[in-house]
Amino acid sequence: MLFALAVVGVGHVAAQENVITPVPAVVEWGEGSVDLGHDLKLYVDAPKDDALRLEAAAKDTGLRLSRVCRPARKGFVNLMVVEEGDVSALAAERNVAEGYVMDITAEGVSIKATSPAGLYYGLQSLKQIYEAHGALTTCHIVDAPRFGYRGVLIDVSRHFRTKEFLMRQIDQMAAMKMNRLHLHLTDAAGWRLQVDSYPRLTSYAAWRVPHTWKEWWYGERRHVEEGTEGAYGGYLTKAEARELVAYAADRYITIIPEIEMPGHSDEVLAAYPELRCTQLPERQGDLCIGKEATFAMMQSILDEVIEIFPSEYIHIGGDEASKSSWQECDDCRRRMAEEGLEDVDELQSYMIHRIEGYLNARGRQIIGWDEILQGGLAPNATVMSWRGEEGGIAAAAAGHDAIMSPHGYCYIDAPQDAPYSQPESIGGYLPLDKVYSYEPAPESMDAAVRDHIIGVQANLWAEFIPTDEHYEHMLWPRAIAVAEIGWSQPARRDFVLFRERAVRIVDDMLERGYTPFDLKNEIGNRPESLEPVAHLAVGKSVTYLHPSRYYAPQYAAQGDATLTDGLRGTWTYADKRWQGFLGRGGVDVVVDMGEVTHVESIAADFMQICGPGVFMPCRVEIWGSVDGEHYEPLADIEHEVVVDELPSFKSFGWEGSADVRYICYKAHRSAYSGFLFTDEIVVR
């Protein structure tokens, strides 16, 4: 069989060839197709349970199939688990166990893999070809995933999601060849898994008033008894969780449960207050590590968790523990003295080590957020790096496996289009192209480190996402981008081609009743940011007055050059164009025009995103001077700062006529504690 086209790189690809997501390693397209005038004969050579799964997946392609007991010679779909040597074309790929080789000829379809999972992924590609072409176009495909871990985190704690909702997401994950569903089951806002040994975790800690996380978090943070009028919440029963595990396994997805410890445990302490630290106010979020009862509880819970979830990994959280209560707690101080621990970081590390040993003895491994590095990493732990890539790189350099999930690319709880057009969210801006641009293990990374980067994950936290429809809107299509990052080789990735496929996938999801973001109607980035702005102050020097009013180091943007570099900010303050001020005074700068200049307008933009604490100024003053000593007022603008839900942008400026060399621009922070962000002082 001769094939007319080999797609081995990126570039111009005909629409009929740009059909498979994630993009395969090698595709060679032919010119013919399989005769679909009659049922195709389906032959499956795989272990019994897998054969049933694969038969179901084959029929889900939409093809008319009849199961047969031996391979046919014409009009067939043959699925065969073979020895590794029989798919030697995959030898150069990582994670060969999930790879496959598919040949579609005029006679039929042959898919070979070294595992049933590989056959399943081959069927996903087959389905996409059939749906795109309405036929089985002849081709030869050699494919295997780049990373063995390709995941999505779904947060069911802040707002509960049912078993049925999770199954819908599993279906779409499977179509995109993702293989890990990380369930964030526990957090302050609600415990979401039945635990027989500690029943108040679900009879009390799973319920709250009011309904939304936002109202609850900024209110009294009350938990209530199950059945209380107006109570919101829910949890997965053990039977439901087992059903969910089986459903995912049928699609070659492993569910990884997360049981948060020691932080994010407000709901546990509400239900079992005896586990609080001593001598402190009632509201606490960290488990008391000094009490043996804490370990008895966590170990009992984990015993029940591993009975339900067969995953090799159990996620134990480990992030954002304040540790403040431990410093004053008699029990924690006694533990530190007995164990020779120098500080609270080592106290947390003590707990992580101890829990890891408990799970290792039961044949399981732990994953934790990158804070588990603090105080010393447990011997066999895998690190999930979220605060950036540094934690994952440090863990990998020390010989530990790491999963990359940096918030700048993989936290898909930020709006994906112009924020004013999107539902309320935590703030920022993370469009599809930014997600897709992420590279978890670049060639510049040391090879020994790169070998320990085992995967990538999208995280969707639900603080501001109360409904299922909103959740799907945030999840898709950005999770599809993460799927392609995890599967496809970097040289095969091309955003223009990917976006074409993503638009088609989104349209198909909409037809099937999902509620993804409507990608084809995307507004895009802030118009002001698309091109440099030309104005009189570009390149002029800026003096920042009073050290307390300097920009914050984490939001320095381009440093002292930021406010006159001609670059306007995007929809997010994390783009290294917006400069953030947290000092008590706000913005207080002087622009030196270099010589006396006639000006007719001076203005700067500010943003407001209340969720993360970004507010407009309450007052803006603009002054002009010829000599740098005597300033004349040009504008004094009062602004009432009002807390609202959606991000907003506003220009504060002056228009008139003046001859100045020095321009003093002052923006005052409001009574709300938070940042001021501005991007450019535009002088015309």
Just list the catalytic residues.
187, 264, 320
Instruction: Give the residue from 585, 567, 584 showing the smallest Cα distance to 576.
Output: 567
Burial grade of 315 (CB within 10 A; 0-12, 13-18, 19 or more): buried
Count of Cβ atoms closer than 10 Å to residue 650 Cβ: 12
Assess contact for 381 and 400: CB atoms under 8 A.
Answer: yes
Report phi then psi at 160, rounded to 5: -70, 140
Tell me if the bond preceding 71 is cis, omega within 30° of 0. Answer: no
Instruction: Find the Cα–Cα–Cα–Cα dihedral 464, 479, 449, 315, rounded to 10°.
Output: 50
> Token pair for residue 255?
């569910």
Residue 554's H or E segment, with its range, is: none
d(CA 308, CA 446): 38
Residue that has been written with the tokens 């779909």 in this structure: 77
Closest CA to 508 of 81, 7, 128: 128
Q: How far apart are CA 53 and CA 71, in angstroms?
A: 18
User: CA–CA distance from 590 to each of 196, 544, 661 (Å)?
Assistant: 65, 7, 10
Query: Residue 255 to residues 152, 153, 315, 533: CA-CA distances in angstroms?
Result: 10, 10, 11, 49
CA distances from 401 to 351, 365, 377, 414 (A): 20, 11, 12, 27
* Tokens describing residue 421: 């057009």
Q: Which of 307, 309, 382, 330 shows the shortest CA–CA distance to 352?
A: 382
Residue type, 61: T
Spell out a b/e string for 154-167, using b for 16 or more CB atoms within 10 Å of the CB, else e.
Answer: bbbbbbbbeeeebe
How many CB atoms within 10 Å of residue 73?
9
CA 485/CA 479 separation, integer angstroms: 10
- Per the DSSP assignment, residues forming a β-bridge with 6 are 28
How does DSSP classify residue 482? H
3-state DSSP assignment of residue 675: strand
How far apart (Å, rounded) are the C-alpha atoms in residues 160 and 153?
Answer: 14
> To 10 degrees, the CA torsion angle through 520, 522, 523, 526?
-140
